[in-house]
């Protein structure tokens, strides 16, 4: 036995953070309950971070280092994600188009893949659903209609998430956890137990957690949310995060047009003609106003 046999350094992935502990899963699918080495600051580590840790027992360890991150999503806070499933539901609740645009801004800003999921397609649709299917498909986002109750679109989604680190994001009640349950066989019981332990009527998710997919890759469930902050940027940068705007901007009179107060603006023309939904342009203007406010407060 070598002298440092008890000090073995192991690589793993943080799959959950819970009451002061980090749960780290290793290549051989074992999960260790870890604390942080003193020099590492709590709050700097995220679910999705790849770490090196030292074993302190058969199921415990202490995290020594965090490896470099490929990407970092702030809402939900999770590292090394490749892909985000932005989940909205047909109804109960109806889609929140501003939140959808906000999330797409964050996703574009991080260079991640976005897939729009419209869950509860077993229920009747509405205008917002039509806008998403028509407009967002036209600007290049995959849109998948699903029903966890009637098993619609689930196989299509399973193929999309295979091999990636994917996160489910969206408002509360749209069915993110329900999707996780049908995408990961054997999950149902686990979430049932959790919600029973919390003694709540609903299955409301309380924290971020990564679950391994049988087909390879990981899927993260996250708590629902209604608001997200924009990343820090200059006012000229926002338009590039709105897919579909740049082609129309060729018709703008000014090359540096930010599609706000300018005359002869291709984007504003498209809004008037109904090519860009009013809600999408509103999302842009709300974001732009926020960015300009922040510029002033520096
Ligand atoms: N009709 C219908 N109801 C669904 C479907 N999927 C989920 N639901 C219901 O929608 C409700 C909310 O589902 P959850 O999976 O808990 O939603 P969530 O997005 O995880 O919510 P939070 O954890 O609060 O963010 C539950 O009552 C589900 O049974 C579906 O495809 N069709
Ligand atoms: Mg949930
Ligand atoms: Zn313009």
* Residue 224 Cβ < 6 Å to ligand 1: yes
Torsion of CA 135, 140, 141, 145, to 10 degrees: 60
Q: Which ligand is nearest to the CA of 203?
A: 1
190 pLDDT above the threshold of 80: no
- Ligand 3 mean position, distance from CA 250 (Å): 8
Q: What's the mean pLDDT in 180-196?
A: 67
Q: What is the pLDDT of residues 259-275, one digit of tens each?
A: 999 999 999 999 999 99
* Minimum CA distance residue for ligand 1 atom 6: 175
Domain end residue (candidates: 157, 191, 221): 221
Residues 150 and 185 in one domain: yes
CATH number of the domain enclosing 258: 1.10.40.50
Pocket-testing residue among 157, 173, 222, ligand 1, by greatest number of atoms within 8 A of Cβ: 173
pLDDT at 298: 61
Least confident of 1-10, 20-29, 31-40, 42-51: 1-10
* Residue 176 Cβ < 6 Å to ligand 1: yes
Q: What's the mean pLDDT in 199-203?
A: 49
Residues 93 and 207 in one domain: yes
Please state, in angstroms and rounded to a whole number, the distance separating the CA atoms of residues 89 and 120: 6
Average pLDDT value over all residues in the chain:
90
pLDDT at 156: 97
Q: 3-class DSSP state for residue 65?
A: strand
* Residue 35 Cβ < 6 Å to ligand 1: no
Domain end residue (candidates: 221, 246, 261): 221
| Phi, psi of 254, rounded to the nearest 5 degrees | -100, 135
Q: How does residue 200 score in pLDDT terms, banded at 50, 70 and 90?
A: very low
* Residue 247 Cβ < 6 Å to ligand 1: no
What are the helix (H) ranges across the chain?
A: 97-110, 127-131, 137-138, 154-161, 176-183, 187-197, 245-248, 266-272, 278-297
How much of the chain exceeds pLDDT 70, in percent? 91
Q: What's the mean pLDDT in 14-34?
A: 93
Q: By residue range, what is the domain housing residue 239?
A: 235-297
Please state, in angstroms and rounded to a whole number, the distance separating the CA atoms of residues 128 and 113: 22
Does the pTM of the predicted model rise above 0.95? no
Residue in the block written with tokens 């608001």? 227
Say if CB 82 and CB 113 are below 8 A apart: yes
Residues 14 and 87 in one domain: no
Do the domain assignments include residue 86?
A: yes
Q: How does residue 201 score in pLDDT terms, banded at 50, 70 and 90?
A: very low
Q: What is the pLDDT of residues 85-137, one digit of tens each?
A: 999 999 999 999 999 999 999 999 999 999 999 999 999 989 999 999 999 99
Residues 262 and 202 in one domain: no
Residues 23 and 158 in one domain: no
pLDDT at 270: 98
* Residue 123 Cβ < 6 Å to ligand 1: yes
Residues 77 and 216 in one domain: yes
Q: What is the pLDDT of residues 47-98, one digit of tens each?
A: 999 999 999 999 999 999 999 998 888 777 889 999 999 999 999 999 999 9
Q: What's the mean pLDDT in 2-18?
A: 78
Residues 111 and 180 in one domain: yes
Residues 183 and 78 in one domain: yes
* Residue 119 Cβ < 6 Å to ligand 1: yes
CATH number of the domain enclosing 52: 2.40.50.140
Q: What's the mean pLDDT in 27-48?
A: 90
Do the domain assignments include residue 229?
A: no
* Residue 151 Cβ < 6 Å to ligand 1: no
Please state, in angstroms and rounded to a whole number, the distance separating the CA atoms of residues 85 and 143: 10
Say if CB 179 and CB 87 are below 8 A apart: yes
Please state, in angstroms and rounded to a whole number, the distance separating the CA atoms of residues 74 and 72: 6
Number of domains forming the structure of the chain: 3
Residues 249 and 113 in one domain: no
- The closest alpha carbon to 260, from 290, 228, 227, 294, belongs to 290
Token couple for 253 = 């009179």
pLDDT at 188: 64
pLDDT at 207: 79
């Amino acid at each position: 036995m070598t002298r440092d046999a008890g000090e073995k350094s192991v690589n793993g992935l943080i799959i959950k953070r819970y009451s002061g502990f980090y749960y780290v899963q290793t290549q051989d699918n074992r999960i260790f309950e870890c604390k942080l080495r003193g020099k590492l600051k709590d709050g700097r580590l995220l679910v999705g971070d790849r770490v090196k840790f030292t074993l302190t027992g058969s199921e415990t360890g202490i995290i020594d280092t965090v490896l470099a991150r490929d990407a970092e999503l702030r809402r939900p806070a999770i590292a090394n994600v490749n892909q985000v499933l932005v989940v909205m539901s047909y109804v109960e609740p109806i889609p929140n188009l501003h939140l959808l645009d906000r999330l797409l801004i964050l996703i574009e800003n991080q260079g991640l893949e976005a897939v729009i999921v419209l869950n509860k397609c077993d229920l009747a649709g509405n205008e917002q659903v039509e806008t998403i299917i028509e407009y967002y498909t036209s600007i290049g986002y995959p849109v998948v209609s699903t029903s966890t109750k009637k098993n619609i679109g689930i196989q299509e989604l399973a193929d999309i998430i295979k091999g990636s680190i994917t996160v489910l994001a969206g408002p509360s009640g749209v069915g993110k956890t329900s999707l996780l349950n049908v995408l990961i066989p054997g999950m149902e019981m686990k979430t049932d137990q959790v919600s029973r332990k919390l003694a709540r009527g609903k299955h409301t998710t309380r924290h971020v957690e990564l679950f391994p997919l049988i087909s390879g890759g990981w899927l993260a469930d996250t708590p629902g949310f209604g608001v997200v902050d924009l990343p820090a940027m200059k006012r000229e940068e926002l338009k590039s995060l709105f897919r579909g705007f740049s082609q129309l901007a060729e018709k703008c009179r000014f090359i540096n047009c930010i599609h706000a107060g300018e005359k002869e603006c291709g984007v504003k023309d498209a809004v008037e003609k109904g090519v860009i939904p009013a809600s999408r342009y509103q999302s842009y203007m709300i974001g732009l106003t926020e960015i300009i406010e922040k510029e002033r407060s520096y």
